[in-house]
Structures are given as structure tokens and as C-alpha cells.
């Protein structure tokens, strides 16, 4: 038996996250905000189109346990790439691979027939699994390291120009674009886009379901509570907080208060004032 909860809180101009939890599977999708002004879709952003459209396709397919999670993801990408190309033709625009929307994707699926927890993790929306009292974390260290290098450069520019870190943000736009150009290459990082090329870089794992007690997935906007805002000294403490009686809403409220108190990014260097923050949690109990 299991109980589950999910929550997504908008931090950007439009929420580009999607979180969904069911008794059979759950996932978090974090659409990457665009770095170019052009927009192909009729959504608030192409990233929002990608995350929301992907979620609908996965919702309708992941219950088919006969196929691996990666297969369901690839089939969904094939559909979305065709849709994206169709919209480009309607607008008489070329499809530039550099500007394709992309997103993190982290999935849990519970296969009770064979006593397996199936995991698919791509990008920097970490999955946390408590297995026999030990916390396992699946995340993308390369993507985090890339962001940290750019953030360090942003702070260096702020110091040199004697401006705030927030004012220095426009000066690192090209560095962020350079990082995006390396996605789904051996020199860069793995992420999901409509081509599905990043799937080969996903972490696919299985765990005995009867050894798992608590699980969580969060977007990097929620992970900020640990790695940027320093509300917790360890991932374990953040994990415990997700299951505490105070609830998820109070945690996000606390984050928003801190972020708003640092409008120029001096105390908590970051790329944006607030990010979309999404989380799901599962508590697995034996009857």
C-alpha cells in the first residue's frame, strides 16, 4: 500500500514544471526556460508546451508495464517532434536544433507483479529513494557543475563591474547558450528534447519494491532549498522535511520568503529570483 502527494508552485512568469503522481507511477518534468526570443508554439513558452504535452502522453502510456520506461519516453518524443515540425511549417520557420525545447524528466514506476521499482532519471530533477534505511540520490552532477561555473562567472562580472549579481545576469547569457549547445553530446550533458537523443544518457535503475519505504522527486527549483538557500545541511535532512507534519506548502512558503528578501542575489547567488518548485513523495507501507 502507498500514499502519495504532489505539489507544483510557480516561480517563473509561467510554470514550466509538471508533476503527477498516481498509484502506479509518478513523474516530475522541468521545462528549461528558453534562451531565445522566438517561440514556435501557442503556449506561454515552448518549454511549457513540451513539459505539458509530454506529461499527457506519458500519463496515457506508462501504465503499460510490458514496455520499458525509456520506450514510452521515445514514443512520446516522436509524437512531439512531429508536432513541433508541423507548427514550424505552419509558421514557415526552420527547426533549429539549438532552439528545441528541452526538459528534465524523472519517473518512478511501481511494478508489483515482479516486485520492482523502476526508475528513469534524466537531467537535474533529483530522485531520492529510501532503501532499507539508506538514502539513494539520483541526479545529474554534470549539469549542476556547468551551472556552477556560469554562476561563478556571473559573480566575477558583478565584482569587476561593481554591480549586483542580478544586474550581471544578462552578461552570462551567451555562456548559458554555449552550455545548451553541448546538450546530448559527450562534451556536455544529457537532457530530453523532442528528438529523444538524450534518452541514451538517462539513469535507468530497478530496486526491489519490498525494500523501498519512502521516495521523492523534485525539480531543481525545490532542490534549491538545500543547495542554494542552505535551509538544510544535507539531502537527508531535506528528505526528512518532505515527510514532516508541517507539509510541503510550508516549505515552499519559507523558500519564497527567503528569495524575496534577497532581490539582488547577494546572499543567495542564482540565475533568477524564483524558480518553479515541484515535488512528489511516496510513502510505501506493507499491509
pLDDT tens digits in sequence order for the chain, 287 residues long: 789 999 999 998 899 999 999 999 999 999 986 666 678 899 999 999 999 999 999 999 999 999 999 999 999 999 999 999 999 899 887 887 778 899 999 999 999 999 999 999 999 999 999 999 999 999 998 888 888 999 999 999 999 999 999 999 999 999 988 888 889 988 889 999 999 999 999 999 999 999 999 999 999 999 999 999 999 999 999 999 999 988 899 999 999 999 999 999 999 999 999 999 999 999 998 65
Which three three-digit cell numbers place residue 207?
530496486
Q: How far apart are CA 65 and CA 5, in angstroms?
A: 23
**Helices 141-161, 173-181: crossing angle, 10 deg rounding:** 160
DSSP letter assigned to residue 129: E
Q: Nearest CA to 165 among 178, 175, 176, 156? A: 156
**Helices 235-242, 220-227: crossing angle, 10 deg rounding:** 120
* pTM: predicted TM-score of the whole model, two decimal places: 0.95
**Per-residue confidence (pLDDT) for residue 143, from 0 to 100:** 85
Query: Is 174 domain-assigned?
Result: no
Query: Is 173 domain-assigned?
Result: no
Q: Nearest CA to 22 among 52, 60, 53? A: 60
**Helices 69-91, 46-61: crossing angle, 10 deg rounding:** 140
- What total number of domains does the chain contain? 1
Query: Is 154 domain-assigned?
Result: no
Query: Is 52 domain-assigned?
Result: yes
Contact of 87 with 53, CB cutoff 8 Å: no
Phi, psi of 95 (to 5 degrees): -85, 110
Task: Label residue 117 exposed, middle or buried (CB < 10 Å: 0-12, 13-18, 19+).
Answer: buried
Which three three-digit cell numbers place residue 178?
554555449
Angular region, 190: left φ>0, alpha ψ -120 to 50, beta rest: beta
Q: How far apart are CA 92 and CA 187, in angstroms?
A: 32
Query: Is 177 domain-assigned?
Result: no
Structural domain of 30: 2-140+190-284
Query: What residues form DSSP beta bridges with 122?
Result: 105
213 vs 7, 80, 203, 286, CA distance in Å? 20, 35, 21, 9
Query: Is 207 domain-assigned?
Result: yes
E strands of the chain, at which residues?
Answer: 2-9, 17-21, 25-31, 103-111, 116-122, 127-131, 134-138, 203-208, 212-218, 277-284
Which three three-digit cell numbers place residue 114?
515482479
Listing DSSP states for 161-226 in one string gives HT--HHHHGGGGHHHHHHHHHTTTSTTS---B-TT-GGGGGSEEEEEEGGGEEEEEEE-HHHHHHH
Residue 76 sits in a domain whose CATH number is 3.60.40.10
Which three three-digit cell numbers place residue 248?
510541503
Q: Nearest CA to 153 among 133, 176, 136? A: 176
**Per-residue confidence (pLDDT) for residue 155, from 0 to 100:** 97
Query: Is 82 domain-assigned?
Result: yes
Query: Is 157 domain-assigned?
Result: no
Amino acid at each position: 500500500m502507498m500514499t502519495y502527494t504532489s505539489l507544483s508552485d510557480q516561480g517563473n512568469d509561467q510554470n514550466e514544471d509538471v508533476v503527477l503522481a498516481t498509484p502506479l507511477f509518478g513523474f516530475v518534468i522541468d521545462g528549461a526556460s528558453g534562451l531565445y526570443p522566438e517561440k514556435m508554439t501557442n503556449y506561454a513558452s515552448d518549454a511549457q508546451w513540451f513539459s505539458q504535452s509530454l506529461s499527457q502522453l506519458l500519463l496515457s502510456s506508462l501504465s503499460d508495464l510490458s514496455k520499458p520506461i525509456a520506450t514510452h519516453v521515445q514514443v512520446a518524443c516522436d509524437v512531439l517532434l512531429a508536432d513541433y515540425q508541423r507548427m514550424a511549417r505552419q509558421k514557415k520557420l526552420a527547426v533549429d536544433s539549438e532552439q528545441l525545447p528541452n526538459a528534465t524528466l524523472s519517473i518512478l514506476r511501481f511494478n508489483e507483479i515482479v516486485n520492482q521499482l523502476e526508475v528513469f532519471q534524466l537531467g537535474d530533477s533529483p530522485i531520492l529513494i529510501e532503501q532499507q534505511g539508506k538514502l539513494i540520490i539520483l541526479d545529474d552532477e554534470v549539469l549542476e557543475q556547468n551551472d556552477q561555473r556560469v554562476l561563478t562567472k556571473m559573480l566575477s562580472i558583478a565584482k569587476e563591474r561593481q554591480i549586483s549579481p542580478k544586474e550581471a545576469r544578462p552578461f552570462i547569457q551567451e555562456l548559458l547558450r554555449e552550455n545548451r549547445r553541448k546538450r546530448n553530446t559527450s562534451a556536455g550533458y544529457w537532457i530530453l528534447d523532442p528528438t529523444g537523443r538524450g534518452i541514451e544518457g538517462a539513469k535507468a535503475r530497478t530496486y526491489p519494491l519490498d525494500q523501498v519505504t519512502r521516495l521523492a522527486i523534485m525539480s531543481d527549483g525545490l532542490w534549491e532549498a538545500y543547495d542554494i538557500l542552505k535551509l538544510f545541511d544535507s539531502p537527508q535532512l531535506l528528505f526528512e522535511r518532505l515527510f514532516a507534519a508541517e507539509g510541503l506548502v510550508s516549505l515552499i512558503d519559507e523558500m519564497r520568503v527567503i528569495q524575496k528578501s534577497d532581490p539582488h542575489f547577494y546572499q543567495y547567488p542564482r540565475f533568477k529570483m524564483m524558480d518553479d518548485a515541484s515535488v512528489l513523495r511516496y510513502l510505501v507501507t506493507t499491509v
